[in-house]
């Protein structure tokens, strides 16, 4: 096939490792190194893709830099078929826009041209994660709740006295 370099498993894994590092380190410049200049990034397959380095970089700056923190990533499975890669991973991060911890499981389909990603289509599901409180945090929460309940009880007693 003209214009395409044969894809090895090692090269596919290397692209995915760079993707992981770009995401964890929130580095839009690094993500561009693995995409073709006219590459397509489909974050939501029913929406139009981000096309080319400029749109992909803008998306990463807005979404990854602007709305995510404390990112973890684990590649679970990788399948290669010709010049296509199917990768499954799990990630978690703090969604700073919504103020919640998220865990996602994703399958991404990547089309590789000339050793870089020409097209990436993401299919994912997410769930909200509750962060476990430390003993100190839990103790502080119980203390605050105790004060709130005592205040409510006091207000209730005043109301009863006023009503009688």
Judge whether 124 and 109 are in contact, CB under 8 Å.
no
Q: What is the dihedral of CA 73, 39, 28, 127, to 10 degrees?
A: -40
Q: Considering the entire predicted model, what is its pTM? A: 0.76
- HSE-CB of 110 using CA atoms within 13 angstroms: 26
Phi-psi region of 115 (alpha: psi -120 to 50; beta: other; left: phi over 0): left
H-run or E-run covering 51? strand 50-51
Instruction: Give the integer Cα–Cα distance in Å for 156 and 73.
Output: 50
Q: How many CB atoms lie within 10 A of CB 92?
A: 16
- What is the residue-level pLDDT of the chain in tens, covering all 164 positions? 445 557 999 999 999 999 999 999 999 999 999 999 999 999 998 999 999 999 999 999 999 999 999 999 999 999 999 999 999 999 999 999 988 999 999 999 999 999 999 999 999 999 987 765 556 666 666 676 666 657 666 767 777 777 76
Topology classification of domain 9-131: Nuclear Transport Factor 2; Chain: A, (3.10.450)
């Amino acid at each position: 096939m003209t214009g395409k370099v044969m894809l090895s498993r090692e090269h596919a894994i290397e692209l995915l490792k760079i993707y992981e590092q770009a995401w964890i380190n929130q580095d839009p410049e690094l993500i561009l190194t693995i995409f073709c200049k006219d590459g397509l990034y489909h974050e939501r397959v029913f929406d139009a893709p981000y096309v080319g380095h400029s749109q992909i970089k803008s998306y990463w700056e807005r979404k990854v830099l602007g709305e995510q923190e404390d990112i973890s990533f684990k590649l679970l499975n990788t399948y290669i078929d010709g010049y296509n890669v199917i990768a499954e991973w799990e990630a978690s991060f703090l969604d700073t826009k919504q103020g919640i911890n998220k865990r996602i499981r994703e399958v991404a389909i990547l089309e590789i041209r000339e050793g870089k990603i020409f097209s990436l289509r993401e299919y994912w599901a997410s769930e909200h994660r509750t962060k476990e409180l430390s003993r100190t945090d839990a103790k502080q929460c119980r203390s605050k709740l105790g004060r709130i309940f005592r205040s409510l009880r006091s207000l209730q007693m005043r109301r009863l006295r006023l009503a009688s």
